[in-house]
Structure 1
Amino acid sequence: MAKRRKVNNMLGLAVLATVYAKPMHPYEMASVLRARGKDRDMKIKWGSLYTVVRNLEKHGFLAVAESVRDGAHPERTIYRITDAGRQEYADWVRELIAVPEREQPKFEAALSVWGVIHPDEVMVLLRQRLALLEEEVAGQRETLAQHCREVPRLFLVESEYDLAIREAEVAWIRSLLGELTSGSFPDLEAWRAWHETGQVPSDVADLMERGSTTD
């Protein structure tokens, strides 16, 4: 089970990773994070960057290295990672690698209530999603192949993982579409009848009723 952290925002992890190599001011942190594409690896709310940096400092994970003034620009505070920050950073990464956490993708949420849409329309929507995913996967494969020639694999495994997840989703949607298209998907006819007659099948109604009593 994941433990409760003093700074639990994933942007905090990204900041610690960024200043691990050298001290930076928040504007430079944001520039480096964008350049590294970290907003694709984790959910980042850029507007909370300064708040996260201050919280990391408050809990002893960052410390002020110096304040500098560059010409007419406002004074900038440069932060360095502390020993406690290095320990927190490494411990956080260990936990994220070792302890699986339940995530809630929007696609999964949609699938949990997809019965409200006619199965014929669902098939159209799934084909649309599949086409977009296949295009995305092809682009990711090309980009990853190019990066493999220029960047050590140590810094590419997150891209490999994301590609593997996308490829698995493509394979699963193709299989699901195959069942829907062939008619082998269980209860497909009852699902169609629900939309064509407006009558909710009794077994579905029972499940909906049971679900409503457990909310």
Structure 2
Amino acid sequence: MGNPLALAVLANLLLEPLHPYEMGRRLKETGKDRNIKYNRGSLYMVVEQLRKAGFIAEQETVRDTARPERTVYALTDAGRVELDDWMRELVAKPEHEYPKFGVALSLLGVLEPTVAVGLLGERLAALDREAEAISRETESTLDQGVLWVFLVEENYRLAVLDAERRFVTTLIEALKSTDYVRAWHEMFDEGKQTWER
């Protein structure tokens, strides 16, 4: 298993047996859907994969006259072991990820310096807005009595945003330097002349 949604299902079932619809509702209510992308179809598919793997099992089928039959799933002993092993690995071992911004940075030199500065300025403003929204939401949730550990991923997001904001601010200043602007124009203007021949 390598699907974050599968991990979320196992974690939800650690507390109590649930129907997939309830699992999805809890992901949304707790804001975990910001970190774990899913839709109803993918959730049911993951539940079936976990059942086939023996990590969860059908506990009961609930019949309600107002709704169709609903199957409630529970975590198996094998599922508890899988959840524990998976969490230990994710928390302890850093893994290189391939964010889109990293790709853009690796190719940033193709943009004319003033264009790059303008675009990074837009990014900086968007990062500021995102950080403000996360701070407001986190504060509001804590005021409702939610234990801080259930919001730790939001604190992580804020720390990453703060680091990126500092990085982008420094990068903007570096791109504005006359030495860089001159070197960029020498390289690309010369390359353009060669290409036009």
TM-score normalised by structure 2 residue count: 0.89
Q: How far off is 1:73 after superposition?
A: 2.7
1:194–1:200 CA contact under 8 A, matched in 2: no
Match of residue 192, structure 2, among 196, 199, 204: 199
**Equivalent residue number for residue 169 of structure 1:** 164
Identity %: 45
Indicate the RMSD between aligned Cα atoms, in angstroms. 2.0
- Whether 1:140 aligns to 2:134 is yes
Unaligned runs of 5+ in 2: none
SS of corresponding position for 2:68: coil
* 151-160 vs 171-180, which moves further: 151-160
Q: 1:200 to 1:39 in 2, by over 3 A?
A: farther
2:54–2:78 CA contact under 8 A, matched in 1: yes
Match of residue 59, structure 1, among 53, 70, 93: 53
1:56–1:62 CA contact under 8 A, matched in 2: yes
**Equivalent residue number for residue 154 of structure 2:** 159
Q: What is the count of residue pairs matched by the alignment? A: 193
**Equivalent residue number for residue 204 of structure 1:** none
Code of the aligned partner of 2:64: D
TM-score normalised by structure 1 residue count: 0.82
CA offset digits 1:106-146 (Å, max 9, x no partner) = 11111112222211111110000001111211222233233
Unaligned runs of 5+ in 1: 1-6, 202-215
CA offset digits 1:24-80 (Å, max 9, x no partner) = 111111111111111212343543111110111111110000112211532211111
SS of corresponding position for 2:192: coil
CA offset digits 1:184-207 (Å, max 9, x no partner) = 5xx442322344454389xxxxxx
Q: C-alpha separation between the residues in 1 aligned to 2:193 and 2:3? A: 43
Normalized per residue, which structure has more helix? 2
**Equivalent residue number for residue 86 of structure 2:** 92
Code of the aligned partner of 1:42: I
Q: C-alpha separation between the residues in 2 aligned to 1:195 and 1:137? A: 36
